[in-house]
Amino acid sequence: MAVFPFHLQARDGNARAGSLTTPRGEIRTPAFMPVGTVGTVKALTMEQVQATGADIILGNTYHLMLRPGAERVQRLGGLHDFSRWSKPILTDSGGFQVWSLSQLRQMDRDGVTFRSHIDGSQHRLTPARSIEIQADLLGADISMQLDECTNFPCSPEEAEASMKLSLEWGQRSLEAFGDRSDQALFGIVQGSVYGDLRAESARRVAAQGFDGIAIGGLAVGEGHEAMCQTLDLTLPHLPHALPRYVMGVGKPIDLVEAVARGVDMFDCVLPTRSGRHGQAWTWDGPINLKNARFAEDLEPVDARVNSPASRDYSRAYLHHLIRSGEYLGAIILSWHNTAFFQDLMATIRQAIKEGRFAALREDLSEKWQHTRSSPKPPDPI
Active site residues: 92, 267
339 binds its own copies (CB under 8 A): no
Closest to its own copies by CB, 29 or 334: 334
CB of 296 or CB of 354, closer to its own copies: 296
The yes or no reply on residue 14 touching its own copies (CB under 8 A) is: no
Choose one: 96-104, 105-113, 294-302, 359-367; the region binding its own copies (CB under 8 A): 294-302
List the one residue from 115, 164, 290, 323 that touches its own copies (CB under 8 A): 323
Q: Find the part of the chain contacting its own copies (CB under 8 A) among 8-16, 20-28, 34-42, 263-271.
A: 34-42
Q: Could you say whether residue 38 binds its own copies (CB under 8 A)?
A: yes
Instruction: Please choose, out of 78-86, 91-99, 120-128, 230-238, the segment that lies near its own copies by the rule CB under 8 A.
Output: 78-86
Of 152-160, 219-227, 240-248, 293-301: span binding its own copies (CB under 8 A)? 293-301
98 counts as binding its own copies under rule CB under 8 A: no
Q: Which of 168, 196, 284, 312 binds its own copies (CB under 8 A)?
A: 312
Q: Does 23 bind its own copies (CB under 8 A)?
A: no
Backbone angles phi, psi at 51, to 5 degrees: -65, -20
- SS3 for the chain is CCCCCEEEEEEECCEEEEEEEECCEEEEECEEEEECCCCCCCCCCHHHHHHCCCCCEEECHHHHHHCCCHHHHHHCCHHHHHHCCCCCEEECCCHHHHHHHCEEEEEECCEEEEECCCCCCEEEECHHHHHHHHHHHHCCCEEECCCCCCCCCCCHHHHHHHHHHHHHHHHHHHHHHCCCCCCEEEEEECCCCCHHHHHHHHHHHHHCCCCEEEECCCCCCCHHHHHHHHHHHHHHHCCCCCCEEECCCCCHHHHHHHHHCCCCEEEECHHHHHHHCCEEEECCEEEECCCHHHCCCCCECCCCCCCHHHHCCEHHHHHHHHHCCCHHHHHHHHHHHHHHHHHHHHHHHHHHHCCCHHHHHHHHHHHCHHHCCCCCCCCCC
Q: Is 300 in the site for its own copies (CB under 8 A)?
A: no
> Shortest distance, CB of residue 296 to its own copies, whole angstroms?
6
Which CB, 47 or 108, lies closer to its own copies? Answer: 47
Is residue 72 involved in binding its own copies (CB under 8 A)?
yes
Counting contacts by CB under 8 A, is residue 43 touching its own copies?
A: yes
50, 116, 151, 314: which one binds its own copies (CB under 8 A): 314
- Closest approach of its own copies to the CB of residue 271, in Å: 14
The residue from 5, 9, 67, 107 that contacts its own copies (CB under 8 A) is 67
Nearest-angstrom CA–CA distance, 280 and 275:
6
Would residue 43 be called left, alpha or beta, if left means φ above 0 and alpha means ψ between -120 and 50 degrees? Answer: left
Which one of 284, 296, 299, 362 is in contact with its own copies (CB under 8 A)? 296
Position among 4, 62, 82, 114 found at the interface with its own copies (CB under 8 A): 82
Interacting residues with its own copies (CB under 8 A): 38-40, 42-45, 67-68, 72, 75-77, 82-84, 295-296, 298, 312-314, 316-317, 319-321, 323-324, 326-328, 330-332
